[in-house]
Amino acid sequence: VPLTKDLENNGIQTYLLSMQDTNLHVVRISTTPWKHWELVCEGNGLTPRPLTWGSAWSFGGKYYFAPDSGEGVHELDVASINLVDESAKLNWVSPAQVTDWNDGFNCFTGHDPWDPDYLKEWDCEKQPKALQVTTTHLTVPTTPESKSYVEFLNIEEGKYELLFEVEKSWTDPPFNCINSCAINPKDNIIH
C-alpha cells in the first residue's frame, strides 16, 4: 500500500508498505536509487511468527493489514514508523476470516470501515417512524438475489416504504439475512 510522508526528515517521499511475517517492509520509490527498510513490528494482538499478509488497505491516512491466517485486521501506527531504529507498531483492530490466497484493495475516497465514528446516529427526532427490517428472496447460502432493507411503515396507507438497502458488503463475512434490529438508546446507532 502506498504512503506519502516525510519518514526520513528530508522532505515528502512516496513509499510502498508491505508486511512479511511480523515485519513491515518500507520501500522508498519516489527517488532513485530506491531504498528498502525492514522494521520489526510490535503491538496489541501481534504474535511474532511466520505470516502471509495478503491484504492491505489505506483509508484517509490510516493503514491496515490482514494476514491470510485469519488473525485479524491490524492498524499500522504511522507515527511509530522509525527508520533509524527499524521499528513500528501494529495493533489488532478487528477479526478477519482465514483465506487461502487474496489481495486487499479499496477506493481511495472510501470511508474507513474501522472508524467507530462512521456509524452515524439515527436521528429519532427527524425520523420518528415505525421501522421494519425485511429480507427478500431468502436462500441458504445467500445469493445475490437475496436482499435486506430498512423500511418504514406509511401509517396512512398501511404499506412499507424503502429507506435504504442494507448492503451485504457491510459485514465480513457477508450476512445472509437480517431479521431483527434495534436502536441503541445510549448511542442512537442501529444494531
Span 3-56, pLDDT tens digits: 999 999 999 999 999 999 999 999 999 988 999 999 999 998 887 777 888 888
Share of the chain above pLDDT 90, in %: 30
Q: What is the pLDDT of residue 179?
A: 64
Phi first, then psi, for residue 168 (nearest 5°) are -65, -25
Residue 38 CA to residue 33 CA, distance in Å, equals 17
- Provide the grid cell at 49: 511468527
Q: Which segment of 66-80, 116-130, 156-170 scores lowest on mean pLDDT?
A: 116-130
Q: What is the pLDDT of residue 20?
A: 92
Q: What is the pLDDT of residue 19?
A: 93
Residue 165 CA to residue 6 CA, distance in Å, equals 42
Is-contact 83 7, C-beta < 8 A? yes
pLDDT at 100 over 70: no
pTM: 0.62
Cis before residue 141, ω within 30 degrees of 0?
yes
Is-contact 66 49, C-beta < 8 A? no
Q: If you ran DSSP here, which 8-state letter would residue 137 be given?
A: S
Residue 121 CA to residue 190 CA, distance in Å, equals 8
138-158 per-position pLDDT tens digit: 767 667 788 888 877 676 666
- Provide the grid cell at 121: 446516529
Residue 1: closest CA among 103, 117, 132, 151: 103
Instruction: Tell me the CB-side half-sphere exposure of residue 19, using CA atoms within 13 A.
Output: 30
Q: What is the pLDDT of residue 128?
A: 66
Residue 3 CA to residue 102 CA, distance in Å, equals 21
